[in-house]
Amino acid sequence: MNKLLLTVAMVAMLSTGAMAQSTVVTTTGTGHAAAVQIEPEYRTKIRTYVTEHKVRPVQTGEKIVVGQPVPREVELEAVPAEWGPSLTKYRYVYSGERVMLVDPSTRTVVQEVD
């Protein structure tokens, strides 16, 4: 019985470790970590969306980077459902040919979509 429990526990730990490897973890400048997973097909959809909808890049005096808050004067755009269900809780900013995912509660950039 103990061997069975040990085996089940080991399998669970190994499967958890495998799942964690497929998640991109970014650390914000405030020390908070946000896990953002973007599958390759959704990255393609994001780039296509920006091109097809002719999204205009925002102009700011400072560069928008991962881990830093987006300036208050920059309007955050809603993430379209076609970008994937795990991303709809975020907002985005298109700046300098880059799509930046933003946590709307803190206005912190959590991921750059390359």
Helix and strand element counts for the chain (H, E): 2, 6
CATH of the domain at 94: 3.10.450
CA distance 39 to 52: 20
Of 1-10, 65-74, 83-92, the one with minimum mean pLDDT is 1-10
- For residue 69, is it within any domain? yes
Tally of domains within the chain: 1
Q: Which of 36-40, 89-93, 94-98, 103-107 has the lowest mean pLDDT?
A: 36-40
Whole-number pLDDT of residue 97? 85
| Residue 20: inside a domain | no
| pLDDT at 111 (0 to 100) | 93
Q: What average pLDDT does this structure show over 72-85?
A: 92
In a domain, 5, yes or no: no
The 10s digit of each residue's pLDDT in 13-44 is 444 443 333 333 444 444 444 558 788 888 88
Q: Which residue range forms the structural domain that includes residue 52?
A: 25-113
Residue 13 in any domain: the answer is no
Task: Kindly state whether residue 1 falls inside one of the protein's structural domains.
Answer: no
Instruction: Please report whether residue 105 resides in a domain.
Output: yes
| pLDDT recorded at residue 85 | 87
Inside any domain, residue 38:
yes
Task: Kindly state whether residue 9 falls inside one of the protein's structural domains.
Answer: no
